Amino acid sequence: MTSTSKSNPGHFFEDFFVGMPLVHATPQTLTEGDIALYRALTGGRFVQYSSSEFAKSAGYPGLTIDPLHAFHVVFGKSVPDVSLNAVANLGYADGRFSQPVLPGDTLNTVSEVIGVKENSNGKTGVVWVRTRGSNQRGEEVMSFVRWVMVNKREASAPTPDVVIPDLPKSVPGA
């Protein structure tokens, strides 16, 4: 009898290839309750995420979601597909917050593998992904690149050709 696992074992280094799309499961809707909890847990005091009156005076319909809160949601959705078998998160680059996230917005997360390189130990490799978060209207609200060191399933497994992405030294201002 064959049994299947109900849990996601995650991708190992040799599973990744440049251009690989990763559509992350379970979109998440953010609410004013999420704002309150995030603010209580982080001590956030920025007025645009704390005062609906200030947000309205800035042209928003009310409170907006702190961009770091939205980042944590989008990043978290990518973990099962990108870094479940990671040894370490190595870095982040080219982070862009392109639209405000409002209470009631549902965030969807998609990543694409943009680089891979096996490490000299033959047991791990580095994977670069560009992750994009979008709202329920398909509007991109953020994107970022991260790279992680991921375990290989088997040290002898063949690995993809080395591709190291060219990332900007800085993100141009808006």
Q: What is the pLDDT of residue 67?
A: 95
List C-alpha distances in Å: 148 to 61, 118, 124.
38, 12, 10
Give residue for tokens 């947000």: 55
Q: What is the pLDDT of residue 24?
A: 95
Label residue 4 by pLDDT band (50, 70, 90).
Answer: low
- pTM of the full structure: 0.90
List C-alpha distances in Å: 43 to 39, 49, 67, 70.
5, 11, 14, 16
* Domains in the chain: ranges and CATH: 13-30+66-151 (3.10.129.10)
Element (H, E) at 150: strand 140-151
Categorise residue 10: left if φ over 0, alpha if ψ from -120 to 50, beta otherwise. Answer: left
Label residue 171 by pLDDT band (50, 70, 90).
Answer: confident
Q: What is the pLDDT of residue 139?
A: 98
Q: What is the pLDDT of residue 45?
A: 82
